[in-house]
Structure 1
């Protein structure tokens, strides 16, 4: 028998589809005796089948056009369908995948083996769950990073609960995941950087702040987010950053500059800020990002650098002044000493000359202080009586302190000695008295300076900063000024902290004092109350210093008859030296030019017994002159005179061959004794 399908035109003109079943009829002899034919009208069935095929084709076209992976398994886990994207992704275009399980496909692909096995586990978990599930799957690639898919599995069941099939849809979320990772990385970076970052919309309303901005502003994120530029977060009044920032944002343009901010601790901070607009893709500004950095330390360092540069300039100026001043002082001292030496003990001129010498010596010490302060002179400690330094400082201070301030001093001469740098002790007193005078400048008052020996027991010394118990020299400076509040008193030793107005102080005075005292192994204590004044106590370890030698008075100066070459570019010093040395019995040749001195020496090198030369001279320095002279006569003694100790150390001088280094201004006895000693040493070696 056979089936035949024919299209039949009915009498109404309608085309119908008929299916005929034809069967041969046979007689007893098995011969064909006829044909039995039956027909069925399948027109509607065929129309339905055609429509179904068209819908299936449409659905397949739609699924294949989807940017997602779509596939179907039966209830046994065998693959039934998959769209083109899936086939391309797993290289199955030319592979007969239908009817195969994940395990069978895993055996065919080494690259995707782990993926298929993972899918098996995920499929089973979905069946066990009994409802849709969602998971992420990583798909390795040959020459690029793995792809990440977000996969949804939907189980299908028969009415009796049996497994019917499993539908899977997977979407490539690699770009989204990377964007999320980048966003997380960026968010973490912004949160963890030291710079403060704030993002606002075009109207200035805050949309984001990082943790650093919370710390800087003193406000929490909840207090800041969503705030309008005209609003102010609740504050304790310590932060001035918000108002300045609002003003910057309201200009709706890029901006870079500095802001002032007082943080929650009360410290004034310098903030470097940059405001940049963020453009919408259409080109208009839709938000702003502001990046701020606390540059307080940098500003402080810049200020220190400017101060160093200023001090270098002052040092250069002070060096020149000191050189000229020492050259002026030297003949004053020498002539006064020689005149005093010639007077009888009962002469009425002795006192004026002694006062000239004493004043010159004070001027000499003042020059040393200027050089030390300007870092042109090495600071050195030696046994000294604080009382002498205090009295000298007060003489200088009196002229600069208003007459409305009364100075009361108690400075016993018998107060012990300390091992200290006189210049730094002088600086301590100057700084303390200047601060005290400033506190009383409006209404006047009493400035007290007291000096005494005190004994500190272990308990008291520990309370002062763990200094050693023992005997100390205590310097107390008191004032009857406005005093200090406790919160100010806590910060008085901080560098650059000051309550003075701009230009009235740098905030370094007490910080410098504190540093000097600590370097001298001492202690400092401050007692102050508002409207009751301030007392500053300085404790310096006392030492047992030897008694100063008695004044040599009219002991004769050492004399001689040798030939001395004296060289200095200052004609007044040359005239003074010639007069002094000739009075001491020496034959003297003087020169105001180092080149002239070298020519004179080379003309008669054996005529000279000793050389005295200045260090700083035009055309040829004293060092160069000495080197040339020593080439001719290495044994001849050379005395170098200078007002700049930093230009030549005693060690460097001896290495060159200089026998003695004398600091200006010089004294008659000093130079006379040095000349005689060097000449005697040379004669003994001859």
Structure 2
């Protein structure tokens, strides 16, 4: 083998150049003003410039900040002008996908020398760049975990500590300081032995530490009677175990400190007075008992009699193991055997059998009875944990509900985003179809085809509204509704399409107050639930009951509701729809609000998923009760309408007369249209031109601002899309408003008006128009703002 220890420099340079792409290290240079001088393929890829350029050569001569759309390099160049060399400069590159790519750069200012003077005469910047996104992600996860564990430690009721091998505290939680009665500042770095006022206990602690340190034992437990600085005393239970470093070497101790003063005082009190023990025994809220090693009861308190159903005389004739549920008997025997072997046995849970056969879960804490130095029996306390288990089951159910709600919220965001983009496309279809219809003679046969196009596009728009409803972002035109009357009308419609074997019943409370709701959305909710109820019954004989009544929901009741959008306690109308169908198990019930899910066949649409979004949008709540073979009950809660919330009804408009008037309406001047969809720009430009306006269009917010600055003296109105690249519609509006508050501005979006205007609470547009829209709707809005009404109220 040849010696490679003295490779020529040019060979080393070639090896380095060949290796940099392998290690994803990019290399580029630019002027002090940021203009690219050279760039390799790796840097080109890391900056993700392939979206706008064909290769690194095209980047030469361009400003890097403009290529990346980021201003971070301005900061880097400023540092280089001051320090000449900058290492470890980190900055996030926002990708088109919405993700962040973190880049790490080392840079220096280079003064051309030798051969380089033929290519550059002025100092320039030389940089290497690499992707550190994975490292950044790991750091974020690490810091999140650190915060989580710190939060847990600060929340527990026990004191937690860590110390070095010399016994000096290196870490502890706030609870430990509270238990010891010493400030955290005084504890850090100190040995707890300094707080002992009992030499024997201090020596026992040191002995235990030595045993742990020398490997004689792996953990330990001791009690410490402490006198706090304020004069109070406490009995503490301290657990100690060894800590190991990454190399497996002993590096210190850790453990928990519990304040067991009350328990110690109770034990002392029991030893001091048999009478007091007897009173405590009899009046205890837990079962207190003793038995011999054959299992025969030797004592049982009143609570034991009450919970077991056996009197003391009856209990004396049976074995303790006879009232323990069969599957737990071996566990109880094993605990006694372990105590006899000298083990420290903690609390454990079993179930006991009442005399009537019912089961009661209990938590057992027991110890051996010692007489003349020998174990002669067992003394124990059994606590009824029925309520604890019920509370735990409720907590787990609530966690499942929260997780399900989070899943639905994520799907809702997806549905809303799809609906928004789909609405953009529908503007071009629906709008151009309406324009074509207006231009054709009334007797043209093409009218029929265009009407079909409009009808199909309108049905697609209705689908997007369902998707927006599922996401909780639907359009709501609310007015007072009487749910009982509305339900009767919908049942009449539904009866036509269901099996004749199904009978409908009504259960309405008299004179129930109205709710505020959207007619079409409420119609969809009721029809979806009734349709699902009918499908659950199928061809069997069955019934569907629809009812409505008042309901008062307090915070406790709301906590049990499956799905709700942060409703407030108060008066509600409960709309209930129950069926005698096949019912659902827990797994099926957890999926019924998923899009396209069905228990009968392949899902046909958003269905109940849209229901959930509609109810959320109406500030209501939903609960579902179902068991296999017992049918299903849907309960929908909507807030009762207060009298002061009743809105004035808008006067009816003669739509035909209005359409003729709008078609003839003319205006003049320059209009600015900004939308990133070409179909939308083409359609809106033609509409405005038909009414006498000249138009300039921009396909993003940045271009919109440039056109505004160029033509602002002539611009009379601006139609701005909310979601655009580079600069969004809200930023465009704020810029124009700051310059010309009087210019009418219309904001358009595929999202609903309520959601959009909430973003413009401080600076509302003159009007909002939701996509998709027809030429007539656009003309109506344009005429409204051109004739000068006040900005939209929020």
Q: Which has the larger radius of gyration?
A: 1
